[in-house]
Every structure is written in C-alpha cells, then in structure tokens.
Structure 1
Amino acid sequence: MPNSPYEIETLAEFDQVVRDGGSLCGFRVQSVDLSGRVETLMGVDVHGAVFLGCAMPWEAEYRVQSAGALVFPVVPDLPFDPYRGSLYTPEELFAGLAGGYAGTPDARTYAWFERTKAEHDIFAAVVRGMHDESMSNVLDEAIRGARVVGVMGGHALGRGRPDYLAAAGLGRTLARAGYTVATGGGPGAMEAANLGAYAAPFQDAMLPEAAELLAAAPSFEPSVTDWARAAFAVRERWPDGGSSVGIPTWFYGHEPPNAFASRIAKYFTNALREDGLLARATAGVVFLPGAAGTVQEIFDACTPNYYGSRGEPRPMVLVGREHWTERFPAWQLLGALARGRAMEARIALVDEVAEVPDVLKTLGG
C-alpha cells in the first residue's frame, strides 16, 4: 500500500494506474465513471481504496466493497457533483444561459442550497461539506507553486465607471508581471480584476474596448442574464484570454460568479471560502475600495500577519487614501495593530491602483 493516498481524477489516470501497478490499493478514485471497467474492478486489488462518486454497476460495487474498498455512492438528483476532481469553468456554471440564468447549474445549485439550508437537512450539510473539501483540494493543486495576489473589493462597482477600468488595468498589470490574480470571483471590483487578467495576452486597446461593451449591462441587477451574456460576448470576440482564479460562494448566491475567471472554486461555506482565498494569496493582497465585506477581509488578512501564524507576514496594500482613512478608516486601526511588529513593513496605503505593482515588489510580494 502507498505511504500516502494517491488521487485518481480521470478515466485515463485510472487506466494508467492499473496498467503500471495492477493495484488500486490506497488510491482515492474521485468522481470517475467506471461503468465500462467492470472486468477491471472484478479482478484488481482494491484493499484500502476509496471510490468517491464513481458510477459502476452493482456487481462491481459489491465486489470492491467485499474486497476492502470504501464506496461513497453517486448522490442522485443534485445540480452539482460533491466529489468533483476539478475546478469549475465559466462555461460549466453558466451552461444553458441562452434560456436564462435561472436554468443554469449555478442558479440551480443556489436554489438547492437555499432549500436544503432552510430545511436543516443533515445529509445535505454533509454533501455540502464534501463538495467544499473537494474544492479546496483541487484549488491547491491548481495554484501550487504560483505567485498568487489576491484582489479584494466591492461587488457594487459598476461596469463603465473609471474605477472599474482602473481595477481591470491592475489585474492586467499583475498578470503580465507573472502573478496569478485571485479574487472573490463575483461582480464589481472582483470581475474587473479577473477581466484584466483575461486581457493580459492582448493588445492594450482590447481592455477599454471590452469595458465599453460590458457597460451596456453595468450591473447584475436587475438581470443576471443580460449581465452574463455581455461577458460571454466579450469572451467570444476575444477568445483564449489569460488565466486567473475566482473563489465565489453560493452563500451570496444572489451575486453570480463572473465569466472572466478561467478557474473557479465555488464554495457553499463562505467562511471557508474567505479564509481559503486569503491563505492562498502568498504574494500579497490588494484591497480596493469596498464596504463591510472588504473591511472584514482586511482584518481577516491582518490576523495571521499579526500573530505570524502563516510564517512571514504577507504584503497588504490598501488602495484609496480617502476611502480607507475617512469613509471607512480601516487604515488607522491596521497601522495601530502593525506598530512594532514584523507586519509593519508589509503594509501600505496608496492613492491609485497604478502604484500597486511597484509597492507590492517593495513589500516583498
């Protein structure tokens, strides 16, 4: 048996493991359709293996359990896969958008979440937990070794506003500098930063042109359908954009994910999603103007920096001097907490997003 569990997430990987070693001992087989591998399952060594949501005929399931494997069955009638072995894509979450957002997997999953949460269904809670742990697992795999910069900011920032274009410019600059841009994956400032990363491979003129097209549907309210369709129209005009990460949540399911984050880790549990985003922002976090949610994120990031619980403090850059010193004076409290501690040299307040890349480098990001 292997010293540590190994994961199999595709049918090709399953076949390769069987060919190479002839044993599935200790492996975790995650959401792979094994309906066509009955003969293999009837003969291969599976002691200590775990099958998570793998479709297989009853006789194969009976055999692998009898031979010492643990089988977590496929859960019927769910609009999502609780054992999935890959991040979401915008195309997957918005499938069926032509018929309206309400029929998409994203909207149907939110409706399921709201219903089961209200019913206090313990089985649904277990399913949600399995899903979110699967998300964390594949997210870690997807960004391993990357220099991740988190970009936080308010969801209310409308397309067409100058500060939306500025936030998009920040995302583009960070992506071109070799950082992986990660956001909360929703609308507003989050979408702008993901859009900027998407625009990174194109000529500079693409970004203002795309922003102008998006401005025709400036907000996801009142129509998520129109808002999302505008984003996909931009993606169709400029295909094969740059990569970035979005980490949204169905807890705020009335806010849809944006279509410019190429890799999406969507969670049911907002606290797990928030902490996960900040913990993975290894090269620092940029806080654009926002309200209560962004203020919370500032101090969520501050706490491990203050106590050193994640090692060396990570850079924190607040953008908008008036916003963070007068409207929501988070900077003064952040500075007071940092005084005399290692994190003091890793925080900065700037006026404009154009200052951020150089400041990040100065802070060690």
Structure 2
Amino acid sequence: MQTMPAHAAHHNDREIETLDEFDATVSARATLAGFRVQAVDLTDRTRELLTTDTAGAVFLGCPMREDAAAKVRADGAMVFPPVLDLPFDPYRGLLYSPDELFASLADGYESTPDALAYAWFQRTKADHDIFASTLRSIHDDSVSDALDELLRGTPVVGVMGGHAMARGTEAYAGAARLGRELARAGLTVATGGGPGAMEAANLGAYAAPYDAAMLADALRLLAKTPKFTPSITEWASAAFEVRSRWPKGGTSVGIPTWFYGHEPPNAFASHIAKYFANATREDGLLARCTAGVVFLPGAAGTVQEIFDNATPNYYESRGEPTPMVLVDRAHWTERLPTWPLLQALARERAMEDRIALVDRIEEAPEALKRLGS
C-alpha cells in the first residue's frame, strides 16, 4: 500500500516551513540569503538571525525579536510581520490537520479555529475590506502551494458526491468501502472535504491500513450521529472517537471551503486544504485528480463538478483526458440526466474512451482502472 510522499521531499528547496528546516539550513549552508521562511516562530532564533546572512530573504509571518527584525531588514530581507488577532495564519506553510481545525471541540464547535475563521470571513466579507480580502488571497495561495508540495508525483483520485448522504446508510458504507479500496490500490483519495459522501470516502482511506472489520465497526459507531445537523459538535466528536480508537489511519486529502460555512470539514482526511475562495478550491480539487474522478449521486454541486471536470477533458487543456466514472444509472440518467449530455459532449473527442456510467459503487474501481489503461 502506498503512503503519501514526505512533505520535505517535495517542496521548493528555497522554502523553509518548519523550525527543524530552519535549523538544518543554517547549520548546513550558513546562509539564509534568497530563502523564503514561511510562518516559522523565530523568537528563539535571535542569535542565528543576527549572525547569518539574510540578503534577499523573505520572512512571511515569522515572529522574531525587534533587534533580529532590524538586522534582517538591514541585510535587505523583506519582513512581512504576523497579523495579530486573526483566527488563521495567512502565511501558513503546511496544510491543516483535523486536530488543528477542531481544536477546542470539547467547548463546542463554535470555539474551534474552523468556526472562528468562518465567523471572521462572514464579518469581513460584509465590510468589503481590501485588507481582509488580501489576507484571504494570501492564505489561499499558501494553501495551494502546500497542496502542490504534498501531492507532487502522487496519483490522486477524486471522489465527489453530496453532503446530504447520511452516516448509517448503505450509500455511505459503499462510499467508505470505495475509499478504502482506492487507497489500498495505491491511490491518494481526494474529496471536497465535507460531510456525507466526502466524509465516507475519506473514512475509507483512513481505514485502509486496517482490516474490513475495523471499517464495519467504525460505520456502526458513526451511525449513532447520522448528520452534522442539528449538532456539528456531536457529529465531529463521533469522528474523533473513531480516530482515537484506531489512531493509525491512512492518508487522504480533503479540500473544503469556508464559503459553505454551514458545512464543516470532516475529521478523516489526514490533510485538509481549506480555502476561503470556493472557485479556487473547486478548480484546484479537480485539476489535481490526475488518476481520475468518481462521481457519486449528488445534487447541484456534484453536477457542477462533473462539467467543471469535463471541460478541460473536452478541450484537452490539461493534456490527456482523465477518467470520469459516474455511479448510479438511475440517478444520472433519470433524476438528474447528466450522463446523456456528457456522452453527447464526449462523442468523437479524445475523452469518449475516458467516461463510464456504472450501476453500483462496487464497479467504480474496475471502471477507473479500465479507463486509465
């Protein structure tokens, strides 16, 4: 089974994103000239900053003592100071973890960094404050950079589907089994990072290192709290109970957005790329699904994702078309007749051999493999 590549192996070697990387760079190179240091607390590295060349370096949101800041500015470095009293770090170098976004969950979801970031977003969006919109843009760009670093060279398969799919249903269990099978086949599962079908697929990837009995037990535990309404606190707490019982879960990616603030991220994605701008998030999620996308039954959001994905496949604007597998014939031909339009678009295009409609979720991995070969 594949594990996701180590972060350090893939990021730009001029970027420093942890204190360990800072110490290793100063020790090995004896210079920080031209480096980018991102959201690293340097208050205890004053001696190193005072004695190391920092010409042309950029410090993005790095706390440091005033004498160190004065010295690096005198060297010709640029210093973007931390922005105080924000519920998020706009310069962050790494993706979020569930533990980070759900910190303080015991005090209620409203106390978590995730909920506080959404509240800040709502407040500043209404003000049309250019400083706030700049901070949101910097944050989202930092998240995209971290996501690229994490996924570079990794085969990624997207699993899309609606947030309404409840825990305890056969559809949810099927989506979880799909996520587990894809992860065990060496693919990195990526979802929209929210509840429902998205959570189920991330749960399946989390369960990949364990036997099938573990997933069945986890599904039973989660079924007691079927939806994130009326209580996100109870819904998320049930997920963390599963994580504490089976702490060594597999890796996957969730890519949610604060744009849909009523919809919390799920706790089973090991890496969470959460965005303020939904358009950036949507495009980024699909563009990174290099091994194809499975579309489970959903509503408007999933329909949009199907055609967001079909457009670059149609024009081959990202190179060779990637596989698209739609699951549930009745849903996609009768309830929301998306399949006939997708078929008509694909006719006599390179993407024609890269689309499939299957009746059952169990058929999706084989269809994905067939289309990708």
Shorter-chain TM-score: which interval?
A: over 0.9
Instruction: In structure 2, give the amino acid aligned to 1:161.
Output: T
Give the aligned partner of residue 233 of structure 2: 225
Does the CA-based 8 Å contact 1:132-1:267 persist in structure 2?
yes
Residue from 39, 51, 59 that aligns with 1:51: 59
Q: Give runs of aligned pairs for residues 114-133 of structure 1, distance below 5 A.
A: 114-133=122-141
User: Shift of residue 65 of structure 1?
Assistant: 1.3
Give the aligned partner of residue 337 of structure 1: 345
Give the aligned partner of residue 234 of structure 1: 242
Cα distance in 2 for partners of 1:12, 1:330 equals: 50
Q: Does 1:313 align with 2:321?
A: yes
Does the CA-based 8 Å contact 1:172-1:200 persist in structure 2?
yes
Does the CA-based 8 Å contact 1:289-1:323 persist in structure 2?
yes
Partner SS for 2:59: strand
Q: Does 1:72 align with 2:77?
A: no
Q: Does 1:30 align with 2:38?
A: yes
Cα distance in 2 for partners of 1:32, 1:68 equals: 19
Instruction: In structure 1, give the amino acid aligned to 2:95.
Output: L
Instruction: In structure 1, give the amino acid aligned to 2:344.
Output: A
Cα distance in 1 for partners of 2:262, 2:224 equals: 20
Instruction: In structure 1, give the amino acid aligned to 2:357.
Output: L
Percent sequence identity over aligned pairs: 69
Does the CA-based 8 Å contact 1:147-1:282 persist in structure 2?
yes
Give the aligned partner of residue 191 of structure 1: 199
Does the CA-based 8 Å contact 1:180-1:245 persist in structure 2?
yes
Runs of 4+ in 1 over 6 A off after TM superposition: none
Instruction: In structure 2, give the amino acid aligned to 1:280.
Output: R
Partner SS for 1:170: helix
- Farther-moved stretch of structure 1 (268-277 vs 7-16): 7-16
Cα distance in 2 for partners of 1:270, 1:199 equals: 28
User: Shift of residue 245 of structure 1?
Assistant: 0.6
Residue from 248, 252, 272 that aligns with 2:256: 248
Give the aligned partner of residue 298 of structure 2: 290
**Structure 2 gap ranges (5+):** 1-11
Does the CA-based 8 Å contact 1:5-1:28 persist in structure 2?
no
Partner SS for 2:314: helix
Cα distance in 2 for partners of 1:332, 1:48 equals: 56
Residue from 231, 247, 265 that aligns with 2:273: 265
User: Shift of residue 206 of structure 1?
Assistant: 1.5
TM-score normalised by L of structure 1:
0.97
Give the aligned partner of residue 167 of structure 2: 159
User: Shift of residue 119 of structure 1?
Assistant: 0.7
Q: Give runs of aligned pairs for residues 33-112 of structure 1, distance below 5 A.
A: 33-112=41-120
Cα distance in 2 for partners of 1:333, 1:109 equals: 39
User: Shift of residue 205 of structure 1?
Assistant: 1.3
User: Shift of residue 5 of structure 1?
Assistant: 7.2
1:200-221 CA-partner distances (Å, limit 9, x unpaired): 1111112122111111110001
Cα distance in 2 for partners of 1:21, 1:141 equals: 22
Cα distance in 2 for partners of 1:124, 1:299 equals: 32
Cα distance in 1 for partners of 2:33, 2:174 equals: 52
Does the CA-based 8 Å contact 1:199-1:242 persist in structure 2?
yes
Cα distance in 2 for partners of 1:72, 1:351 equals: 53
Partner SS for 1:130: helix
Instruction: In structure 1, give the amino acid aligned to 2:233.
Output: T
Does the CA-based 8 Å contact 1:5-1:26 persist in structure 2?
no
User: Shift of residue 40 of structure 1?
Assistant: 2.0
User: Shift of residue 178 of structure 1?
Assistant: 0.7
Cα distance in 2 for partners of 1:38, 1:195 equals: 43
Cα distance in 2 for partners of 1:258, 1:182 equals: 12
Cα distance in 1 for partners of 2:20, 2:149 equals: 18
1:49-106 CA-partner distances (Å, limit 9, x unpaired): 1000000111211221121111111000011111111111111111111111000110
Cα distance in 2 for partners of 1:66, 1:301 equals: 49
1:128-155 CA-partner distances (Å, limit 9, x unpaired): 1111111011111111111100000000
**Structure 1 gap ranges (5+):** none
Instruction: In structure 1, give the amino acid aligned to 2:209.
Output: P
Q: Does 1:113 align with 2:157?
A: no
Cα distance in 1 for partners of 2:111, 2:189 equals: 29
